[in-house]
Structure 1
Amino acid sequence: VMSDTASPHVVTIVEFKSPTIPLTADHLAQLKGYMRRVEAFIESELKQKVTVHGYLIGAMPDPNTKATGELDLLYSIDREWTAQTAWEVLGLEHLLQRAQTIHSDAIDAFERELKETEADAAVASPPTPAAAPMEPIVIDIK
């Protein structure tokens, strides 16, 4: 469970499951239960309204699965989830792609800023000409 100190009334719960076992509706129900209990505790004990977000992360079920719990999870994702839903189910591959995209964008922005800074520095103080090459010194040792 995490709370952003910049937004103390927002709590994020991240539930990681084994990458070798497909996620099921029971896993989502467990996450929703955690979310409900955290929200109820904070509101009753601390007398604060709070927004709770939850992320269920693990191996997404095969779309062709016949397992009921896996089918129920896929149904919930398809029928219940919107951008405003307090929970989100993320497959490991999707999570890695999302992280790579976020980090790639940040790296690209940093590289652009670095090039601009270097270009500004070059204009502000042009490089000094290189010293004339020295004549080689030959030492004859006998």
Structure 2
Amino acid sequence: MQRYTMQEVSEYFQIPTSTIRFYDKQGLLPLVERNATGQRVFPPVQMDLLQLIIHLKETDMSLRDIQKYMQLVQAGDRTAKDRLAILTAHHAEVEAQIKRRQQALHHIEQKIARYSDTVNELTAGKAPLSFEQRLQNEEN
């Protein structure tokens, strides 16, 4: 079975080796294997778990919740219902985050369009407006 070195894992996931060591020390990577020289090596199943950990961190799951999830993974299939509940709740939170970010992005896009119009007007020779003048124009 293929085993990946720490450096190979670091390069594959584009994360520092210190992050992988941290995850291991936090108990997020169960049953880490070591080669004859004592270096950590990762079989494909560990690579899959690390990929999931990275995705959970990227979607703002707390380290404590990831630890809880990984403890359930180590307990085996009898915890599948609990793991499903954790991932389902996290999925809902990520969807809510995406919705909030889309709303924020829409607002930013509106501002970009407005400032682009203003820059075009100024480039065409229109007199610049003060903040107060801009507010008065929006009220009318």
TM-score (norm 1): 0.36
Q: Which structure is higher in helix share?
A: 2
- Larger relative contact order (CA 8 Å, sep ≥ 6): 1
Greater Rg by CA: 1
Q: Which structure is higher in strand share?
A: 1
TM-score (norm 2): 0.36
